[in-house]
Amino acid sequence: MSGYLHSGRIEHGLWATPEVFGHAPQAGACPAPGMAAPVNDAASSQEPSMALLEAARRGEEAAGKEIVTLLHPLVARLVSRQIRRNADLEDVLQEVFIKVFVKMHQYRGPQPFSHWVSRLAVTTCYDWLRRQKARPAVMASDLTDAERIALEHIQSQAEDHGGNDDPDLVSGLLDRLIAALKPHEQIVIRLLDLEERSVAEISALTGWGQSKVKVTAFRARKKLNTLLKQLESP
């Protein structure tokens, strides 16, 4: 969650991300201090060989197990960023890998297999979020003591016109606020800020045009800002 606060920082009470407004760092540029480098799916997972994929397509159980072993860390990370209820994580993970093997015949490249699986994982998370009808509102009266402290911290940072220097303190509160957004807004805001993906990467993962990604992020930030202001009101 720390990437969320550095990338989607609170400035003067407003959410702002240079990427959304066309001021993203150039490709290959070093990340800002405190900001993690963008995630590369192929680099962060072991890529299954074409021979292994062909063996899995033939129904060889050992090949299937090896593919799961290779790609489980990647899929688990993507899913855990989007599905925040621990009770749902295993169900969504299982659903992703079922789809991987059911749809494996559709993979033709040229992108790495891990990229194809990443897109499948993100779309599965989106479908899962859409099925969860309830998006609980966050009320000031419902805040825990820790969340009240986090809110006070956010207020003090805004008043000082400074960036957030303690992301762990406010991560839980921000997570609740994001959960109140619409499913596609949750997907975009988490990929953009938590995963630190570019607009182009999010477009490739979701199948949504870059203009839609930018507009969705802009609207989601306005909503988050409104939610924060509502909590700050006496």
Rounded distance, CA 146 to CA 65, Å? Answer: 42
Give the pLDDT score at 59: 92
118 has pLDDT over 90: yes
Of all residues in the chain, the percent with pLDDT exceeding 90 is 46
Residue 208 has pLDDT above 70, yes or no: yes
The answer to whether residue 146 sits within a structural domain is yes
For residue 199, give the CATH number of its domain: 1.10.10.10
What pLDDT is stored for residue 157 in this prediction? 52
pLDDT digits (tens, 9 = 90+) for 3-55: 333 334 333 333 333 344 333 333 333 333 233 333 455 444 579 999 999 99
Whether 36 is covered by a domain: the verdict is no
Name the 3-class secondary structure at 14. Answer: strand
pLDDT digits (tens, 9 = 90+) for 162-189: 454 455 555 666 777 888 899 999 999 9
CATH code for the domain in which residue 111 is found: 1.10.1740.10
- Give the pLDDT score at 172: 66
Q: Which residue has the higher pLDDT, 50 or 151?
A: 50
**Domain count of the fold of the chain:** 2
Token couple for 162: 């400074």
Model pLDDT, residue 109 = 80
Checking if the pLDDT of 133 tops 80, the result is no
**77 plus 119 within the same structural domain:** yes
> What phi, psi does 37 have (nearest 5°)?
-70, 150
Going by pLDDT thresholds of 50, 70 and 90, the confidence category of residue 149 is low
Where does the pLDDT of residue 194 fall: very low under 50, low under 70, confident under 90, or very high at 90 and above?
Answer: confident
Q: Which residues of 77-108 are buried (b: 16+ CB within 10 A; e: fewer)?
A: bbbebbbeeeebeeebbebbbebbeeebeeee
Q: Please identify, among 89, 113, 131, the residue that sits at the C-terminal boundary of a domain.
A: 131
112 with 58, same domain: the answer is: yes
- More confident: 95 or 195: 95
The last residue of a domain, from among 131, 155, 178: 131
Q: Is residue 34 part of a domain?
A: no
67 HSE (CA, 13 A, CB side): 25
Which pairing describes strands 14-16 and 9-11: parallel, antiparallel, or unpaired?
Answer: antiparallel
Give the domain range for residue 225: 2-29+136-232
How many C-beta neighbours within 10 Å does residue 164 have? 21
